Structure 1
Amino acid sequence: MSAYVTGLGVVAPNGPGAEPFWAATLAGRSGVATLARFDVSRYPVRLAGQLPDFDAAAHLPGRLLPQTDVSTRMALVAADQALTDAAIDPGLFTDYDMGVVTSNAAGGFAFTHREFKKLWSQGPRAVSVYESFAWFYAVNTGQISIRHTMRGPGSALVAEQAGGLDAVGHARRTIGRGTPLVVTGGVDSALDPWGWVAQISSGRLSASADPRRAYLPFDARACGYVPGEGGAILVLEDAATARVRGARVYGEIAGYAATFDPAPGSGRPPGLRRAAELALADAGAAPGDVDAVFADGSGVPEEDRAEAEAIRGLFGPGGVAVTVPKALTGRLYSGGGPLDLVAALLAVRDGMIPASGGTAEVPAEYGIDLVRGAPRAASVRTALVLARGRWGFNSAVVVRQVPQ
């Protein structure tokens, strides 16, 4: 089953667009800063990866703004970028030949909480009629499909940080079932006061006030993660269709798998390694074929230790280059996996593996070769992207270079 990536759209805290994001990632420029949406001075967590200059009105019709949450606006902008990047001629595909599969973890948080406030303070007549759908997890799929007249298969998946990879995996499956083109990926934003408190309540966020030290995946000083907003949307095409139209191809989504962790206390191992093994098998690849692993890298010490064990067990001690570029953006929930896919595809293109933010000291017992300090020049033909969602979700995607 072949699915080629022909278009990239990015809305990331450290870069608006795929190429600016990639340039910032290779340069080590972070998008993490003190949250500026509201006063966080009295909150125990103050840092976030945020898009400070995102102006939806500069990209979208005015009629869409009253009916969309900020996360949907970001998804629409990223989808526009991806379709433009893929040079999709609207006359080439019929409406039923184009599908949309996205993931979203938080829904329209800021929109719905604003309407709740109106309900409590002004009564039900003040609530926007658009609240009926703007909050919903499937709204990004719906709005992208409406905007671009894509009447083919549409789906929405929810698996927290793992969901974005699940969306891409399902898009690949949709192409295998006969849909020539699918727009896919994930975008999230929950940086309003209610959303912020909800994220803090997990107990997994870093309370550090130093943007350079707050989110340090696999570091001996790791103390949690920094949340962020944004993500990526990709255009996937059937290989034959992409070849016929002479599309520029970033790479192939060659394998995908998902697993679920066993119940705590069961004595059975977490499912991340199994997801990686299944994804490699799906791609017809062996561990030795993988040139780089784009790890989940939660920054929570016990979770980092478990992921390092999975990587070490599969590839051997120091057996593959490992990187966590999301250290420069924060964890973007459903947007994190697709953004890592963009980084992996551009690493394949340019032969550069980005460094993992400010991580400096990796415990020896982790036994992983983490790229630190500066990007590493390397031939990258095959990359493995990993993601874990809270409550036990694990997903893995294999991307591979397509011979020219």
Structure 2
Amino acid sequence: MTAAVVTGIGVVAPNGLGIDEYWAATLRGESGIRRITRFDPDGYPVRLAGEVVGFAPNQHLPGRLLPQTDRMTQFALAAGDWAVRDADLDLAALPALELGVITAGSAGGFDFGQRELQNLWGKGPNHVSAYMSFAWFYAVNTGQLSIRHDLRGPIGVFVTEQAGGLDAVAHARRKIRRGARLMVTGAVDSALCPYGLTAQITSGRLTGRTDPRRAYLPFDRDASGHVPGEGGAILVVEEAGQARARGVRGYGTIAGYGATFDPAPGSGRGANLVRAIAGALADADLDPAEIAVVFADAAALPELDAAEAAALAEVFGARGVPVTAPKTMTGRLYSGAGPLDLVNALLALRDGVIPPTVHVAPASVDHDVDLVIGGPRPLRGGAALVLARGRGGFNSAMVVRAGPG
């Protein structure tokens, strides 16, 4: 069966811009979680976030795009440019109808939407930007990437909260198997404005702690919820034969995928994360023992952490596989989280090192998981599993393998 190889990566994250800066910071355990600076958070019960710093849109994008786009789209366009450049692609030399874009989004352009609603309320309808018609929309990153790179083939967007980023990459792989030559895929989210933060607070899943070192603590007995973040990753995924013909080995192969949906709360039926993991392993034709590391969803709520730990124990045995959550350095990036963890997984396999889960102490681990804490750990093996669960019952699991498939 046709293999889908990741040949290009672009990263925008709270602890680094670009793949090299991000990966170096992640291996150092450098957190990008800090007090919110984009507005005064004193009146809100949540005051910490994984904010992207040092990103100047006018240094990365044409001036004509800036008034048209929300912050999340500016991130996505820059990451898309970096991914295409990283893949060493001349897109103009390839048939545009065989090149596509599939991304995910959990919220859309909240910052742009808030600004224009304020204009409507305070100044009147003549002061609302015409770009409001699409800049707020959750599918806008797909559209803007398609236009920017003249990608006229398969196109789509997934809206499955944090699971969405993995779902998008999986669908891109599906399109590669059906004949597309190349897909730009992944996800980037940003909703760190008063409107966006208020919407996130309603989930009841955010921590109200103000010490960045004690805020986001998955699998910790002191867990109190997650820290929100912004950013993500855009990937170039190619048909393996085309990559070989170009002389590109790539970062690794999207080897397996599984997705399930949990039953409604109160139904008496359990969560279905185990089935998603089993589906991904079967799709990759791997046994659990062949997985070298799991990049956890890491919800940092006691009941959700317990469910994830139980699923891992059922598949791998108690403490049967190293588990890590680098998102403790970025916050949960919603749809951007899964693609960024795919980047973590691919780079971990490439370099033979597992990045750490920060701020969780050995004595505080409250579940029977082999959590990588205190610093990086050597990785031995050729496959990694990435998990993502979205609010509302979405479960996604993806296996990546080292090499070109």
User: Which residue in the other structure is 1:87 paired with?
Assistant: 88
TM-score (norm 2): 0.98
Quote the Cα distance in structure 2 between the aligned partners of 1:228 and 1:286. Answer: 34
Q: Report the alpha carbon displacement of residue 362 of structure 1 after superposing the two structures with TM.
A: 6.4
Amino acid across the alignment from 1:197: T
Would you say the 8 A contact 2:187–2:339 is kept in 1? Answer: yes
User: Which residue in the other structure is 2:396 paired with?
Assistant: 395
Quote the Cα distance in structure 1 between the aligned partners of 2:90 and 2:36. Answer: 40
Q: Report the alpha carbon displacement of residue 286 of structure 1 after superposing the two structures with TM.
A: 1.0
Would you say the 8 A contact 1:257–1:397 is kept in 2? Answer: yes
Q: Report the alpha carbon displacement of residue 403 of structure 1 after superposing the two structures with TM.
A: 6.0
Quote the Cα distance in structure 2 between the aligned partners of 1:268 and 1:288. Answer: 28
Would you say the 8 A contact 1:219–1:361 is kept in 2? Answer: no
Matched, 1:215 2:221: no
User: Which residue in the other structure is 1:32 paired with?
Assistant: 33
Would you say the 8 A contact 2:45–2:208 is kept in 1? Answer: yes
Deviation by residue 1:48-94 (Cα, 9 ceiling, x = unmatched): 00012111110000000011000000000000010000000134311
Quote the Cα distance in structure 1 between the aligned partners of 2:200 and 2:95. Answer: 41
Quote the Cα distance in structure 1 between the aligned partners of 2:345 and 2:381. Answer: 9
Identify if the C-alpha distance between structure 1 residues 216 and 61 changes in structure 2 by more than 3 Å, giving closer, same or farther. Answer: same
Quote the Cα distance in structure 2 between the aligned partners of 1:26 and 1:364. Answer: 21
Amino acid across the alignment from 1:182: M
Quote the Cα distance in structure 2 between the aligned partners of 1:169 and 1:386. Answer: 13
Q: Report the alpha carbon displacement of residue 361 of structure 1 after superposing the two structures with TM.
A: 3.9
User: Which residue in the other structure is 1:141 paired with?
Assistant: 142
Quote the Cα distance in structure 2 between the aligned partners of 1:362 and 1:23. Answer: 27
Deviation by residue 1:221-256 (Cα, 9 ceiling, x = unmatched): 111110000000000000111111111310000011
Identify if the C-alpha distance between structure 1 residues 209 and 364 changes in structure 2 by more than 3 Å, giving closer, same or farther. Answer: closer
Quote the Cα distance in structure 1 between the aligned partners of 2:26 and 2:244. Answer: 30
Quote the Cα distance in structure 2 between the aligned partners of 1:99 and 1:68. Answer: 21
User: Which residue in the other structure is 1:264 paired with?
Assistant: 265
Quote the Cα distance in structure 2 between the aligned partners of 1:403 and 1:142. Answer: 29
- RMSD over aligned CA atoms reads 1.2
Would you say the 8 A contact 2:293–2:379 is kept in 1? Answer: no
Q: Secondary structure at the match of 1:366?
A: coil
Amino acid across the alignment from 1:302: E
Amino acid across the alignment from 1:212: R
50-59 vs 322-331, greater mean Cα deviation: 50-59
Q: Secondary structure at the match of 1:76?
A: helix
Q: Report the alpha carbon displacement of residue 364 of structure 1 after superposing the two structures with TM.
A: 6.9
Q: Secondary structure at the match of 1:182?
A: strand
User: Which residue in the other structure is 1:236 paired with?
Assistant: 237
Quote the Cα distance in structure 2 between the aligned partners of 1:52 and 1:294. Answer: 25
Quote the Cα distance in structure 1 between the aligned partners of 2:86 and 2:184. Answer: 12
Q: Secondary structure at the match of 1:383?
A: strand
User: Which residue in the other structure is 1:182 paired with?
Assistant: 183
Amino acid across the alignment from 2:235: L
Q: Report the alpha carbon displacement of residue 102 of structure 1 after superposing the two structures with TM.
A: 0.3
Amino acid across the alignment from 1:87: D
Q: Report the alpha carbon displacement of residue 214 of structure 1 after superposing the two structures with TM.
A: 0.4
Could you list the runs of 4 or more consecutive aligned residues of structure 1 that deviate by over 6 angstroms after TM superposition? 362-365
Deviation by residue 1:330-367 (Cα, 9 ceiling, x = unmatched): 00000000000000000000000011011114667722
Q: Pairwise mapping of residues 196-345 of structure 1 onto structure 2 (< 5 A)?
A: 196-345=197-346
Q: Pairwise mapping of residues 13-32 of structure 1 onto structure 2 (< 5 A)?
A: 13-32=14-33
Q: Report the alpha carbon displacement of residue 208 of structure 1 after superposing the two structures with TM.
A: 1.0
Would you say the 8 A contact 2:162–2:335 is kept in 1? Answer: yes
Would you say the 8 A contact 1:220–1:362 is kept in 2? Answer: no
User: Which residue in the other structure is 2:46 paired with?
Assistant: 45
Between Structure 1 and Structure 2, how many residues are aligned? 404
Quote the Cα distance in structure 1 between the aligned partners of 2:393 and 2:339. Answer: 19
For structure 2, list consecutive stretches of 5 or more residues without a partner in the other structure.
none
Quote the Cα distance in structure 2 between the aligned partners of 1:135 and 1:112. Answer: 5
User: Which residue in the other structure is 1:351 paired with?
Assistant: 352
Would you say the 8 A contact 2:10–2:80 is kept in 1? Answer: yes
Q: Secondary structure at the match of 2:12?
A: strand
Quote the Cα distance in structure 1 between the aligned partners of 2:374 and 2:207. Answer: 21
Q: Report the alpha carbon displacement of residue 125 of structure 1 after superposing the two structures with TM.
A: 1.1
Q: Secondary structure at the match of 2:212?
A: coil
Amino acid across the alignment from 2:296: A
Amino acid across the alignment from 1:163: G
User: Which residue in the other structure is 2:7 paired with?
Assistant: 6
Deviation by residue 1:159-209 (Cα, 9 ceiling, x = unmatched): 111100000000000101100100000000001111111111211111111
Would you say the 8 A contact 1:86–1:248 is kept in 2? Answer: no
TM-score (norm 1): 0.98
Q: Secondary structure at the match of 2:323?
A: strand
Q: Secondary structure at the match of 2:103?
A: strand
Q: Secondary structure at the match of 1:293?
A: strand
Q: Report the alpha carbon displacement of residue 380 of structure 1 after superposing the two structures with TM.
A: 3.4
Would you say the 8 A contact 1:352–1:380 is kept in 2? Answer: no
Would you say the 8 A contact 2:14–2:230 is kept in 1? Answer: yes
Quote the Cα distance in structure 2 between the aligned partners of 1:321 and 1:190. Answer: 32
Amino acid across the alignment from 1:244: A
Quote the Cα distance in structure 2 between the aligned partners of 1:188 and 1:362. Answer: 34
